[in-house]
Amino acid sequence: MDDYLGSIFEKYLHAKKIFKNKEVLRHSYTPKELPHRKEQIEELAHILVPVLRGETPSNVFVYGKTGTGKTVTIKFVTEELKKISEKYNVPVEVIYINCEIVDTQYRVLANIVNHFKEESGIEVPLVGWPTDEVYARLKEVVDSRERFVIIVLDEIDKLVKKSGDDILYSLTRINTELSRAKVSIIGISNDLKFKEYLDARVLSSLSEEEVVFPPYDATQLRDILMQRAKDAFNEGVLDDAVVPLCAALAAREHGDARRALDLLRVAGEIAEREGASKVTERHVWLAQEKIEQDTMEEVIKTLPLHSKVLLHAIVLLDENGELPANTGDVYSIYKSLCDYIDLDPLTQRRISDLINELDMLGVINAKVVSKGRYGRTKEIRLNVTPHKVKKVFSQDDQLRPLLTLNLSRQRRLI
């Protein structure tokens, strides 16, 4: 057995190496140049240049769809600002916070304080302190010397939707409480509508300047991929059609550069795993299929509990050959499933809203059809395989008991 395992590792170790540096294709990588973002780079540089003159820059709100280069451009510009600030002896600190992960007022404040822990000796625990005390410590550590502190709040809409805008109100006004340091906020969002959640005073402070990132087109995505591919892949391993195909597929997804990079990276991984000497179009199509499967599984995994129970009701109807079904049919099965796991069911009107949400996510298809004099109804179909849904639910302790049920048994319970 040991010899067998050894031979497997040897086979993969000595297979033709596809990648030179795979990290270049990761979302977290900041390249030395950013194709097709010169206008946004110059806008941001113009907004932030007052720092080098010892003046407080405006707060900035940056928005655009996923994969339009917002985060990488902000990181690129702020890194360049830090470099040049040393030449002018202007102390600059940049604090980057991903609000999808750090999504409460307390945790954002704690992250800012802990950024300075080596300098201040103060470290805030992840929970336990009164928020007012954390904010007081934040002012203390930030204001301990003259400097400019730029706080980047990426996916700021996630923070606001979960925790409200109190933290933004505090941070956008913090300079009135500081005597040495100056703070500037850069908020990044995929969702322009999130501004509707903000108090008017917060909005006016946060949106002193706005920078818009439009989607990339297929030609621009091709340029981005060509630039990264030079550093990511060994010479001669990419078929000529691979980069244009990745760019074209990602352009269909509203010009998403992240999707384009993922396609190229996963295609390379599949080719390497096969022991192929070249990455071909076939590997790109396989990568597209794998990414779509992984994405849908993640969507299903992160659904709220009632949406998962609702989805399982639709799966049961599908397995019994009863799709398309209407909202009433789905609701009766959903209610019986709730009873089975001792969950209080939602109203049919609320379930109708959840059906619309599942439709928007692409998990199901809910089409409104006319029944003539009988009015209009929704016809509900499943867009994913029952197997995929059950695979995700099998990892959920609350939902696992439902996997043993079939529709005829449930109907006896209704």
82 is in an annotated binding site: no
Give me the residues paired with residue 63 across strands. 189, 212
Of the candidates 206, 71, 78, 64, which has an alpha carbon nearest to the alpha carbon of residue 149? 78
Which tokens belong to 78?
């702020």
70 is in an annotated binding site: yes
228 is in an annotated binding site: yes
Give me the residues paired with residue 19 across strands. 233
Instruction: Name the DSSP letter for residue 343.
Output: -
Q: At what angle do helices 386-393 and 281-301 cross, to 10 degrees?
A: 50
Q: Taking phi first (over 0 means left), then psi (-120 to 50 degrees means alpha), and beta for anything else, what does residue 249 get?
A: alpha
69 is in an annotated binding site: yes
Helices (H) and strands (E) in the chain, counts: 18, 7
Rounded Cα distance, 21 and 33, in Å: 17
Rounded Cα distance, 408 and 62, in Å: 53
Rounded Cα distance, 206 and 200, in Å: 10
Rounded Cα distance, 212 and 209, in Å: 10
Rounded Cα distance, 229 and 147, in Å: 39
What are the DSSP calls for 345-411, one per residue? PPPHHHHHHHHHHHHHHTSEEEEEEE-GGG-EEEEEEESS-HHHHHHHHTT-TTTGGGGG--HHHHH
Which tokens belong to 256?
């998403």
Rounded Cα distance, 305 and 346, in Å: 11
Contact 172, 59 (CB under 8 A): yes
Strands 182-189 and 209-212: unpaired
What are the DSSP calls for 263-297, one per residue? HHHHHHHHHHHHT-SSB-HHHHHHHHHHHHHHHHH
187 is in an annotated binding site: no
Binding-site annotation, residues for ATP: 68-72, 216, 228
Binding-site annotation, residues: 68-72, 216, 228
